[in-house]
Structure 1
Amino acid sequence: MSALEIRNIRKNYGAIETLKGIDIALESGEFLVLLGSSGCGKSTLLNIIAGLAEATSGDVLIGGRSVLGVHPKNRDIAMVFQSYALYPNLTVHRNIGFGLEMRGVSVAERDKTVREAAKLLQIEALLDRKPSQLSGGQRQRVAIGRALVRKPQVFLFDEPLSNLDAKLRLEMRTELKRLHQILQTTVVYVTHDQIEAMTLATRIAVMRDGRIEQLGTPEEIYNFPATLYVAGFVGAPSMNMLQAVVENGKLAIAGSPARLPLPARLRNAVADGAQVVVGIRPEALRLATGIAKELSLPVEIDVVELTGPELVTTARIGTQRLTACLPPRARVAKGETSAFAFDEETLRLFDPASGMAL
């Protein structure tokens, strides 16, 4: 039995269809990230799971029980919002335990549960403080603690790290990963940040225009994108997309004399003369060494940017652009001619008309 099952969920606002048939089944302990740009429907879907919005059609089951029409407090969920939503006049201890207090849990049991959550979140020393005396990261830990003490079947997170600065986001991301590894609770997490998705999720649902573009593990999403949209959305820098034509078993790169052999695994997928998009991740590229067997593309270096751990190099191949993430000590300079090599298995092909992977 799935911990959470979403069956053909649709949501309309008048004539506008926000969700267009979402199907997901989560086993107990999974960490699902709903990833997508603003307006794709990810927060609407989370609100339907939480009971904060009603679906136009479809069903949501938690622990095998349909919860459509069930009040949020009776769904056995706990939600952490983008805003911390803490009570400013209550201490951290009371903020964490407020839900238990409202449910009539005894003072002794409440105190024990709150202290256990605070220990797990490493905020034991803050229990007597008010929210105004806390940093942004500490306030978010309190909000998470308030959800933890509920011990729900499903945790829902709505962009909980968006209000934090870069350093705090990294720290809290690590904490969330650690908590999930300890608690093994089912989580649905909404974000537009692909790094959060890749580092936290056991599975990612990439959403676009009210649909799931691809559902898979972080490795599947990153290494085997199902569509051009997923390939371009996940990854920083994003995947290189080169227009090409299949000619006599080779990939002729548009606007360039460059020709690449068509990988054997793809020879039956495309016909001669077909227009294709060649996808190569920037980190899959390296400076060519001249070894006869390696696949390479002649380029002219355009921009070189040192980020610290890597040298992000933008180059031109004919009329198209190509980005490579090279080692920081790589010897490349603007204006010089070079070549980028890559392994055959890292190459991906897409149909430019449908956007689907070949």
Structure 2
Amino acid sequence: MSALEIQNVRKTYGAVETLKGIDISLESGEFLVLLGSSGCGKSTLLNIIAGLAEASGGDVRIGGRSVLGVHPKDRDIAMVFQSYALYPNLSVHRNIGFGLEMRKVPTAEREKAVQETAKLLQIEALLDRKPSQLSGGQRQRVAIGRALVRKPQVFLFDEPLSNLDAKLRMETRTELKRLHQMLGTTIVYVTHDQIEAMTLATRIAVMRNGRIEQLGTPEEVYNCPATLYVAGFVGSPPMNVLSAVVGEDGLRLDGSGQVITMPNHLKGVAAAGRRVKIGIRPEALRLAGEFDGLLALKVDIEVVELTGPELVVTGRVGGERVTVCLPPRARLDVGMTQLFSFDEDALHLFDAETEQALR
């Protein structure tokens, strides 16, 4: 039995359709990340699962039971909010155990659950403090503890790390990953940060304009993007996209006169004369000569940036921008034209009109 089933869920506000038919089936123990830019509908979908918003159509089932019309407290879910939502006048101990207290759980059982959760989150020393005496990372752990202590069927996280600084965000992300591996909990997690999605998820649902563009494992979404939007949204720096026309001799790039040989795995997917978009990830490009038998791309270099672990090169092919990630010891100068090679499996092809991947 699926832990969570979302069946053709729709949501409208007057004439505006926010969700346009969402279908997801989530097995017990999965970590699903709803990934997308602001306004794509991911938080609306999370609120419908939680019962904080009503669906205009479709069904939501938790543990095989439809929860449409069921009060949030009776859905067997726990939610962690972006703003922590802690009670400022209560200690950490009471904040974690408050939900159990409201459900009339016996004191001894409640105390045991709070202590176990605090130990798991490594906040035993903070139990007597008030939220105002805690750092942002500690407050978020308390909010997570308040959800964990109830042991629900499904945990819901609404951008829980967005209020933390970069270092704390990374540390808390690692803690969430560790907790999921230890507990095997079922989680639905909303974020616009693709790094969070890639590192945390067992499956990612990339959303756009109220629809799911692609649903798959992090590896599938990264290595085999289903659409041009997914290709550009997932990856840092994002995938390079170049306009081209399919010719008899290969892929003819707009504005530069360059021709890239059609890779063997893409031969026959597009007829001659068809307009396409070529996708190549920045890390797939290498200085020509490092490998034999690879495809090549000539780039006019405009900017060279050393980030520490890598050298990020920005240039142009015709009128379109290209980014290349190289080892930090590579030596390139602004203004030069450099040939970069790449393996044929690194080239992705998309239809220029539909933006769907051609396979």
How would you bin the TM-score normalised by the shorter chain? over 0.9
Cα separation, 2, equivalents of 1:75 and 1:291 = 56
Counterpart in the other structure of 2:325: 325
Contact 1:249 / 1:267 at 8 angstroms: preserved in 2?
A: no
Counterpart in the other structure of 1:66: 66
Unaligned stretches of 5+ residues in structure 1: none
Cα separation, 2, equivalents of 1:93 and 1:24 = 36
Deviations for 1:17-53, whole angstroms, at most 9, x for unmatched residues?
0000000000000000000011100000000000000
SS of the residue corresponding to residue 238 of structure 2 reads: coil
Counterpart in the other structure of 1:341: 341
Counterpart in the other structure of 1:182: 182
Counterpart in the other structure of 1:279: 279
Shift of 1:257: 2.5
Deviations for 1:266-323, whole angstroms, at most 9, x for unmatched residues?
1111001111110000000111117652211112211001111111101122222211
Deviations for 1:58-107, whole angstroms, at most 9, x for unmatched residues?
00000000000000000000000001111111110000000001111111
Which portions of structure 1, spanning 4 or more consecutive aligned residues, are displaced by more than 2 angstroms? Answer: none
Count of residue pairs the alignment pairs up: 358
Counterpart in the other structure of 2:140: 140
Contact 1:256 / 1:317 at 8 angstroms: preserved in 2?
A: yes
Cα separation, 1, equivalents of 2:336 and 2:297 = 14
Deviations for 1:327-351, whole angstroms, at most 9, x for unmatched residues?
1110111011211110000100000
Cα separation, 1, equivalents of 2:99 and 2:234 = 38
Structural mapping, 1:347-358, within 5 Å: 347-358=347-358
Correspondence 1:172 to 2:209: no
Cα separation, 2, equivalents of 1:78 and 1:326 = 44
Structural mapping, 1:91-170, within 5 Å: 91-170=91-170
Contact 1:247 / 1:273 at 8 angstroms: preserved in 2?
A: yes
Unaligned stretches of 5+ residues in structure 2: none
Question: For residue 267 of structure 1, what is the amino acid of its counterpart?
Answer: K
Deviations for 1:235-261, whole angstroms, at most 9, x for unmatched residues?
111100011111114011111121111
Shift of 1:166: 0.5
Cα separation, 1, equivalents of 2:222 and 2:350 = 15
Question: For residue 46 of structure 2, what is the amino acid of its counterpart?
Answer: L
Range that drifts further, 262-271 or 90-99: 262-271
Contact 2:249 / 2:259 at 8 angstroms: preserved in 1?
A: no
Question: For residue 77 of structure 1, what is the amino acid of its counterpart?
Answer: I
Cα separation, 2, equivalents of 1:14 and 1:290 = 58
Contact 1:249 / 1:272 at 8 angstroms: preserved in 2?
A: no
Contact 1:243 / 1:277 at 8 angstroms: preserved in 2?
A: yes
SS of the residue corresponding to residue 108 of structure 1 reads: helix
Contact 1:131 / 1:139 at 8 angstroms: preserved in 2?
A: yes
SS of the residue corresponding to residue 168 of structure 1 reads: helix
Range that drifts further, 115-124 or 295-304: 295-304
Q: Do the aligned partners of residues 309 and 291 (structure 1) sit closer, same or farther apart at CA in structure 2, a change above 3 Å counting?
A: closer
**Percent of aligned positions with the same letter in both sequences?**
76
Counterpart in the other structure of 1:31: 31
Counterpart in the other structure of 1:214: 214
